[in-house]
A and B are shown apart, each in its own frame.
Chain A
Amino acid sequence: MIVAVAGGKGGVGKTTVALNLGAALDAVVVDADLGMPDVAAGRSRGPDLHDVLAGRAAPVEAVREGGPVDLLPCGRSLAGARAADVTALAGALRRVARAYGTAVVDCPAGMAADAGIPLFAASKCVLVTTPDRVALPDAVRTWALATELDAGVARVVLNRAGADPPVDRVERALGVPATVVPESDAVDRATATGRPVSTVDPDCVPARRFRELGEAVGNG
């Protein structure tokens, strides 16, 4: 199974959701943000997604095991992004999913092909948005793109939600159930070091919500 974590706008927490959903599903998290990679790869060295998309490494060779979540990181150089053939991403994701069972893809912001290819390859997607007037329209655009590319939208995550998130409005607009993840220091601390929040505070509300999200996506 390939699950795309998408959202349109940058900075809404796609990486956080991908990391935590990957942990909940025991999946490989693929950082597909070819231009601005975000998932902390730690100190491990080896081929990355740029190498895979340039034909220099096989997808499964680039998966880093042994961390809190299996990870296929992305290179950080412009030259690497330039050399990467984005059309190879769909095949690479399928190979990772075939070898490991599930791949969770952290999609880039925007509506260009690097955001479209994971949706093209995915059978499901999770939309991430913050509950504000700037991010929500981007989530709607991404929903439309995901629908056109047949990536069934399984859930929308209302991330960094305050006291009274517009759950009804978002669920009505997108036609999918929402998972509310409140603002949390534990989540920020965990994401900064490439860990799911369950490793920092397994009983906090965000950790519980991510477990529920994993069950919903895994069973849906």
Chain B
Amino acid sequence: MVRLVSRTRREGPVTLVEAALVNDGPLPRRVRVESRLDGPVWPPRRRGVPESGWDGRTYAVALDAGERLGFGFASPAQPVDPPVALVADDPPAFDATPDTPADVVRALGDPAPPTDAVALPEPDIPPAAGGDGPPAPGPDRPGPDPPERGTDPSDQGTDPPREGGDPP
């Protein structure tokens, strides 16, 4: 769960809202916060454009596990307590629901050991003296046994994307 703490300060005709989001949980979270002030929200701007995450009266942001994040805005409305409320607190998500295994790999990272971690195969047979031929084949394990029954060439596990889901 994400905690939201906030306070307001009046500067002349403007209410300044200062708030902090604290993710105490073990998971990253996506949260959305909404102004409770009875008036327009003036978000922080860069070159005249609202900062990333602001959309009208709401501010959306992703928080890593354990992350604290401060934010604020201004408004001509009178202060209320609390000035902001947490309206969404969701688990992290893929940018889009993955459609293919490749999407999953892109999102989560390829687990294959790096090439540097894999020793070059040792030749089984010492090369003949003066010979410049290719090294003898010698990976660290033999190839698969020949299949005992007929192999349907289409029955490889390598066709990637979707098959419309798992049969029941």
Measured CB to CB, the residues of A under 8 A from B are 1-2, 34-35, 45-48, 51-53, 55-62, 75, 77-82, 84-92, 94-95, 97-98, 108, 110-117, 120-123, 137, 140-141, 144, 147-150
**Could you tell me the dominant secondary structure of chain A's interface residues?**
helix
- SS class, residues of chain B in contact with chain A: loop
Q: Which residues of B contact A (CB under 8 A)?
A: 26-27, 91-94, 97-98, 100-102, 104-105, 107-113, 115, 117-119, 121, 139-141, 143-145, 147-149, 151-152, 155-160, 163, 165-168
A80 touches B141 (CB 8 A): yes
What residues of chain A lie closer than 8 Å to B108, measured between beta carbons?
111-113, 115-116
Whether A81 and B112, one on each chain, are in contact in the complex, defined by CB atoms closer than 8 angstroms, is yes
B105 surroundings in chain A (CB, below 8 A)? 86-87, 113, 116-117
Given contacts A78-B113, A116-B104, contact A58 B26 (CB under 8 A): no
8 extra interface residue pairs, beta carbon distance < 8 Å, beyond A61-B151, A86-B110, A123-B166: A57-B147, A61-B149, A94-B167, A112-B111, A115-B111, A116-B105, A116-B108, A120-B98
B104 cross-chain contacts in A, Cβ below 8 A: 87, 113, 116-117, 120, 149
B118 touches A51 (CB 8 A): no
Q: What are 10 A-to-B residue pairs whose CB atoms are below 8 Å? A: A35-B111, A46-B145, A81-B112, A82-B115, A88-B101, A90-B160, A94-B167, A117-B101, A120-B98, A150-B97
A149 to B160, CA, bound (A): 17
Question: Are B151 and A87 in contact, CB atoms less than 8 angstroms apart?
Answer: no
- Asked whether B158 lies within 8 Å of A55 as measured between CB atoms, the reply is yes
Q: Which residues of B contact A89 (CB under 8 A)?
A: 101, 157
How far in angstroms is the closest Cβ of chain B from A87? 4
Chain A nearest CB, measured from B3 CB (Å): 18
Contact B144 A57, beta carbon cutoff 8 Å:
yes
